[in-house]
């Protein structure tokens, strides 16, 4: 039972927590053997709220390896939420059933890319962070290894629809030794823009959305041991923060060319930027009870 993130829905008197892995494993960097050895999570734990009694454990199986960030819909009457499963790169929806228990299903699946010049023949997206807009219309998540940020319309929570995608880093961007392959054997790399003359380092990791839903902010450090393993340049030169402009009407994402915060230029840097928070509340802290 590897505790990680949690989220709660007071009107349903429920809290659900996720499970990253054993510190003895992830603090040393990622080793696929540790997954085989059972040192990484695949469960969600359902507790009564606020007394904290464990009521149910959901085994996500091989489709839900390393479940990290957990979010309910903001609407306090809803009994639906999602968890991002990093290694299998699936967004799993959890929900209450008619008998009052909880169940789950895969709502979004990011296919691994066939690649050349990498440690494995296939590369997972590695969903590391996600959030839901305050109006519950859109879900956003970051693929740390692939390098893209996605926007899905979730007005039908069972059937998310991809409406926006932007590439802001990753291991397969142009200029990288790693290339992806299509099903017909052709190679390709993502077209990642420079921002204010800076080549984007690392991959999109933590995200935060303005309360009006129009500005999505992105940083790129996951965990220093993993940064060093997958993006050594990030540790050497430091992180950055980007702004992505959001179309809140029909969907759509566009990197803002005028916004770049360079944490490599910090006085005691280079620094690794991770979590972001708005003073007074934001889309990953506010709930309506």
pLDDT in tens, 256-274: 999 999 999 999 889 999 9
Omega of the bond leading into 270 within 30 degrees of 0 (cis): yes
pLDDT tier at 67, thresholds 50, 70, 90? very high
pLDDT at 289 over 90: no
What is the SS3 assignment for 236?
helix
pLDDT tier at 15, thresholds 50, 70, 90? very high
What is the SS3 assignment for 74?
coil
Edge-to-edge order in the sheet of strand 80-85? 67-72, 80-85, 90-96, 102-109
pTM for this predicted structure: 0.95
pLDDT given at position 283 = 84
Query: Mean pLDDT over residues 19-30, rounded?
Result: 91
Ramachandran class of 73: left when φ > 0, alpha when ψ lies in -120 to 50, beta otherwise: beta
pLDDT at 1 over 70: no
Residue 95: name the closest of 109, 110, 83 by CA.
Answer: 83
Classify residue 50 as exposed, middle or buried by CB count within 10 Å of its CB (0-12, 13-18, 19+). exposed
Mean pLDDT value across the chain: 95
Query: Mean pLDDT over residues 127-140, rounded?
Result: 97
Residue 58's alpha-carbon distances to 5, 38, 234, 244, in angstroms, are 15, 16, 36, 35
Q: Domain coordinates of the chain in residue numbers?
A: 1-109, 111-284
Q: Phi and psi (nearest 5°) for 226? A: -75, -35
pLDDT tier at 81, thresholds 50, 70, 90? very high
Query: Mean pLDDT over residues 238-264, rounded?
Result: 97
CA angle, 157 as apex, 152 and 161 as ends, to 5°? 30
Which runs of consecutive H residues, i.e. helices, occur in the chain?
A: 23-26, 32-36, 224-230, 232-237
């Amino acid at each position: 039972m590897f505790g990680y993130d949690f989220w709660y829905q007071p009107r349903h008197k429920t809290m659900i927590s996720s499970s990253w892995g054993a510190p003895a494993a992830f603090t040393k960097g990622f080793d696929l053997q540790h997954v085989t050895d059972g040192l990484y999570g695949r469960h969600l734990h359902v507790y009564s709220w606020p007394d904290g009694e464990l009521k149910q454990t959901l085994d996500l199986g091989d489709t839900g390896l390393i479940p990290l960030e957990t979010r309910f819909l903001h609407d306090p009457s809803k009994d639906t939420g999602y968890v991002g499963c990093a290694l299998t790169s699936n967004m799993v929806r959890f929900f209450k059933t008619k008998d009052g228990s909880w169940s789950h299903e895969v709502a979004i699946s990011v296919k691994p890319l066939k690649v050349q010049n990498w440690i494995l023949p296939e590369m997972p997206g590695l969903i590391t962070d996600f959030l839901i807009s305050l109006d519950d219309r859109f879900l956003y998540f970051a693929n740390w290894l692939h390098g893209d940020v996605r926007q899905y319309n979730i007005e039908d929570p069972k059937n998310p629809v991809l409406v926006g995608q932007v590439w802001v880093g990753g291991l397969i961007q142009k200029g990288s030794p790693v290339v992806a392959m299509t099903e017909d054997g052709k190679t390709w790399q993502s077209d990642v823009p420079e921002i204010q003359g800076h080549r984007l380092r690392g991959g999109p990791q933590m995200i935060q959305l303005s309360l009006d839903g129009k500005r999505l902010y992105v940083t790129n450090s996951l965990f220093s041991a993993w940064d060093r393993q997958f993006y050594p340049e990030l540790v050497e030169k430091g992180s950055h923060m980007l702004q992505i402009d959001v179309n809140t009407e029909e969907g759509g994402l566009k990197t803002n060319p005028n916004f770049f915060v360079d944490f490599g230029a910090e006085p005691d840097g280079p620094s690794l930027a991770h979590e972001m928070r708005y003073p007074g509340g934001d889309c990953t802290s506010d709930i309506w009870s």
